Each structure stands twice: as C-alpha cells, then as structure tokens.
C-alpha cells in the first residue's frame, strides 16, 4: 500500500470496502462485524464532528474497554489533526482524573461502565453499547455526537496532513513506580513502525486476536498494523482466559499477541483446553515481559502448529527493535533477536559507558517518542547523540543475539549480590509442578533485602513451600533462593496485564511482618 501521512488514515480506500475488518466481541452481546468501509466511515464521522468543535492539536481522551468504536475514535481523532489520549480505565478514579487533567483533554469518549469516571466539567461522549446503568445527564451518545448511522457518507473526510514531528497520540505509562508519564508519539514515528513491520511480514491472510487493552502500546500498535495489512481483527473487550480460548476456537484465530501472564492463565484452564480446537494458531507474539523456558515449552505443547515470537518493545521506543539474524542463525529460545537493521542498539553500564556482554539497552530509530508531555522536571531519557535509555538490562551473546535480563528498577541487592527477579522466576518455573512464579524483595536487617516468592502450581499439582526452596538451592546460587514461599491461586496483574509487582511487594512485606517465625536481628 501507499502509506498516508496521517496515522489515522491507515485504511486503504482503494481496496474492497466490504472486506471484513473487525469482529467485536462485546461481553454478553452478539458479535458485531465491521467491514473496512464501515470502520472507515465511523472514523470519518468522529473526525468530522471533532474538527467542527475543536482546534488543531487539542487532546481527546478515550476511557473505555476495547471496542470497534474505540478504534474508530482513535483513528478519527488523529484524522482531524487532534491528539488521541487512550486512558487506563483500571486506574483509580482520582488517578484517571489526574491523567486526563495532565493531558489537557476537553472531551472524553467512554463506554457506559466508565462514564461515571469521567471528571466533572468535561464533555462526555458515551459509546453506543447497551446501557447497563443510566447515563449522566450531561452525556451524549456516540451516534448522537458523530451522526454515524451505519452508512458511509457520500464525501469522505480529508485527513489533516501533519507536520514532521506532529503528535498523534499520548500514551500514559502504568505509573507503577510513580506518577504516570505521558509519552508523546508522532504520526511519522508510528507510520514508520507500521511500514517496517509490514515489510518484514505480510499479515493479509491472518486473523488476529487482541485482548490486551488498547490503552497499551502492545495492543494499539497491533491494531494499527492489522488495519494497514487488511487483516481481520477479533477484538475482546478485555482479557479473560476462558473467553480468550473460546475466541480462538470460534473464530479460527491465526495470530495471538499476549504477555506471558496471559498465557500462563490460559494454561490453568485445562478442562476447557482439552475440548477446544486451537489448531488454527500459526503465530504467538509474546511481549511486554520476559518469557521463561518452561512457559515456552508449554506453549509449544499447547500450540504445536505455531511459531512463538519472543518480542520486545517499549512505549517510548516502539515495537521495532529486534529481528532475525542476518546470517540466518536460529534465535535462541529466550532471546528476543538480533539488532534490527534499521535500529541502532548498544549496551551501557550504570554510568552510561559502553558495556560488554551485559548492560542497559540504548536504542535509536525513527520510532522513538517525541518526549514526555508536560513534564519539564524529568531528566530527558535520551543521550546527547539521540539514543533512548530504556532502563532494561540485556545480555548479548557471541552471535549478537539479545536476551532480556530484567528492569534495572526491578533489580535489588541482597547481601551485596545483584538479583534480577526474572532470573529467579525462570529457575522456579522449571519445576514440573510450578506454573508461574513472581519474586520480589522484602527488607532484611542483615542483607538489606532478601528474595521471597509467590508461586502458582499447575492444575492438580501438590508442592510444599520447603520443596520450592530446596529446588532453587539445587539449581541456582544460594543468594537467589526465596527465603519465604507462598503458594497462591493466582498472581495479580497490573492494568497492562503484566505482573503487579507493586502489590506483591506490599503483600510480602505485610506477611513477613505478621510472621512470628521471622527472627529479626537487633539494629546496630
């Protein structure tokens, strides 16, 4: 395709408008099917209504679960020359208000369940899904605001032509380690992302399943890619393991995008998996968190027809970072690939000096963000020569393959030894009875901090906490073994479907403080 200048104009109007673009699986409702022409017309209706009411560059927030109207809204906002701000609806109401206020948005599109979370004083446009609760008095429905009535307008909307680095999106970080930051992304950067990914692999014949939230880069970037590729997207409002499995079977999905905790939760549904046909799956793209050898083995057993892609990307740097080896060497199981030919990569130590085999990943590419919105107090995460400092630690082997070690922020020191939780979790998940593990630090009077672990067993398995400790001591350095192990039914996920380490750190500290068996050394 000939790529547009506006990220919102990814739907090719020269192709068949009746081809199936999207299957919207709203929970408890019949599936809704949208052609590319219908989705394009809906986005045009959004763009036309917004351009008549708001000035170029103003921000428009979206606070909702995944839906066709969500995607059309984001496209329409960008077509109109405005800036789309997808907001994490799983944030507490006060934090939602802070994020929307920080963005400067004057209107918020929401679905009915989140309409009450829109801060007072802002215009509310509510998506046209069956009303479970009465709408606020000052809200207007999506169809009333846009005039969209399932018919394509006679005159298509001409998308705004952006300047070189003009903002298209602001995506807010999760805020797990502080106030959320608004990542400003340009039209040009993410059109480059789409074009580069399509050049590597055509998705035209694929049917993609998206259940990760569209306020997160993982899902949103794939949604853009599917539109440009003319692939069909099957869209769940949000992730539910049973619904995810059933959608693969019912709609013969061929391409899955997920984070490792989502797959781990799928694997717990053994009875459902036993009666479900997953043979349609050809690709599983894992991202946003490290994947262990044990989980990879289980995925291959569950989906023997699928190629598993262990991917990496960041909101600030985009999803185009790594690729295949130029010499055709196979990628090691846990590696994320070789440096993409259009991306400059290097490793640096904690002082920013060049590192050898292990260090913080720094990257430079056309897909980088413009910067953080409205945060002049933050140190810019760019080096003087234009590399983005990711904060992620990687190892690089002799063949040039990169393997994720852990977030520098997640690393903790125990008795002088650096511990990356992901390394310990990978060891724990090699145990045949363990499905998932999360390691976090707790305070210790002698060592400063020490590792503890939350463990989910495989269905039907039985294991004692002491067995877990002994297994770790046999297979890892002694300083890495968890001093406390708690067997739990599930590990909580943050709003982006990653493991919620902040909550687990708090729970671990509370459990250790309440444990009378813990003998504390006197303070010196």
Report the alpha-carbon distance of residue 309 to residue 311 in Å, rounded. Answer: 6
pLDDT at 520: 44
Q: 496 falls in which pLDDT band (50, 70, 90)? A: low
> Could you count the other beta carbons within 10 Å of the beta carbon of residue 56?
12
pLDDT at 346: 96
pLDDT at 449: 86
Start-to-end C-alpha separation, the chain? 69
Does residue 175 carry a pLDDT above 60? no
| 308-335 pLDDT tens trace | 888 888 999 999 999 999 999 999 888 8
pLDDT at 524: 32
Q: Of all residues in the chain, what percent carry a pLDDT higher than 70?
A: 94
Fold of domain 7-238:
Rossmann fold (3.40.50)
Fold of domain 412-514:
GMP Synthetase; Chain A, domain 3 (3.30.300)
Q: Of all residues in the chain, what percent carry a pLDDT higher than 90?
A: 60
- Residue 150's Cβ-side half-sphere holds a number of Cα atoms within 13 Å equal to 4
CATH 2.30.38.10 applies to domain 322-407? yes
Report the alpha-carbon distance of residue 95 to residue 179 in Å, rounded. Answer: 9
Per-domain residue ranges of the chain:
7-238, 322-407, 412-514
Does residue 130 carry a pLDDT above 70? no
pLDDT at 523: 35
State the alpha helices, DSSP H only, in 305-448. 421-428
Burial class, 476, CB count within 10 angstroms (exposed 0-12 / middle 13-18 / buried 19+): middle
Q: Who's near 233: CB < 8 A, 6+ residues apart?
A: 21, 22, 23, 207, 208, 209, 210, 223, 226, 227
| 255-294 pLDDT tens trace | 998 877 788 888 889 899 999 999 999 999 887 666 677 7
pTM, to two decimals: 0.85
Q: 300 falls in which pLDDT band (50, 70, 90)? A: confident
């Amino acid at each position: 395709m000939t790529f547009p200048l506006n990220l919102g104009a990814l739907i090719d109007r020269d192709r068949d408008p009746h081809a199936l673009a999207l299957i919207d699986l709203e929970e408890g409702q019949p599936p809704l099917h949208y052609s590319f022409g219908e989705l394009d017309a809906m986005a045009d209706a959004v763009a036309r209504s917004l351009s008549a009411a708001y000035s170029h560059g103003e921000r428009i927030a979206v606070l909702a679960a995944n839906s066709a109207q969500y995607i059309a809204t984001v496209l329409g906002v960008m077509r109109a020359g405005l800036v789309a701000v997808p907001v994490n609806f799983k944030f507490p109401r006060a934090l939602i208000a802070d994020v929307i206020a920080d963005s400067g948005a004057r209107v918020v599109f929401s679905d009915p369940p989140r309409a009450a979370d829109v801060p007072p004083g802002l215009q509310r446009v509510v998506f046209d899904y069956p009303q479970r609760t009465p709408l606020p008095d000052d809200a207007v429905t999506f169809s009333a605001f846009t005039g969209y009535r399932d018919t394509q307008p006679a005159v298509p909307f001409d998308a705004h032509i952006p300047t070189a680095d003009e903002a298209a999106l602001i995506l807010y970080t999760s805020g797990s380690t502080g106030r959320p930051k608004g990542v400003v992304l340009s039209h040009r950067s993410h059109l480059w992302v789409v074009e580069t990914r399509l050049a590597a692999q055509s998705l035209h014949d694929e049917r993609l399943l998206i259940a990760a939230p569209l306020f997160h880069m993982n899902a949103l970037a794939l949604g853009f890619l599917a539109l440009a590729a003319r692939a069909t997207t099957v869209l769940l409002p949000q992730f539910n393991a049973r619904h995810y499995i059933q959608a693969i079977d019912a709609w013969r999905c061929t391409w899955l995008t997920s984070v490792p905790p989502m797959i781990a939760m799928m694997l717990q549904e053994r009875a459902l998996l036993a009666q479900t046909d997953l043979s349609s799956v050809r690709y599983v793209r894992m991202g946003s968190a490290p994947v262990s050898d044990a989980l990879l083995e289980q995925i291959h057993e569950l989906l023997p027809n699928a190629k598993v892609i262990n991917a990496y990307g960041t909101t600030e740097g985009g999803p185009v970072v790594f690729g295949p080896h130029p010499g055709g060497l196979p990628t090691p199981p846990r590696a994320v690939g070789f440096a993409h030919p259009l991306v400059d990569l290097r490793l640096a130590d904690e002082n920013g000096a060049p590192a050898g085999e292990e260090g913080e990943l720094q990257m430079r590419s056309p897909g980088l963000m413009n910067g953080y919105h409205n945060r002049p107090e933050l140190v810019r995460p760019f080096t003087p020569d234009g590399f983005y400092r990711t904060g992620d630690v990687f190892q690089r082997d002799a063949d040039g393959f990169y393997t994720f070690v852990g977030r520098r922020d997640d690393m903790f020191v125990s008795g002088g030894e650096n511990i990356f939780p992901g390394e310990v979790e990978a060891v724990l998940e090699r145990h045949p009875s363990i499905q998932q593990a999360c390691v976090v630090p707790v305070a210790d009077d002698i060592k400063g901090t020490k590792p503890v672990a939350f463990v989910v067993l495989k269905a039907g398995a039985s294991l004692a906490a002491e067995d877990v400790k002994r297994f770790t001591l046999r297979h890892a350095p002694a300083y890495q073994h968890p001093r406390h192990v708690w067997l739990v039914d599930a590990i909580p996920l943050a709003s982006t479907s990653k493991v919620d380490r902040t909550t687990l750190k708090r729970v671990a500290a509370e459990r250790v403080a309440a444990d009378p068996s813990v003998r504390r050394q006197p303070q010196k």
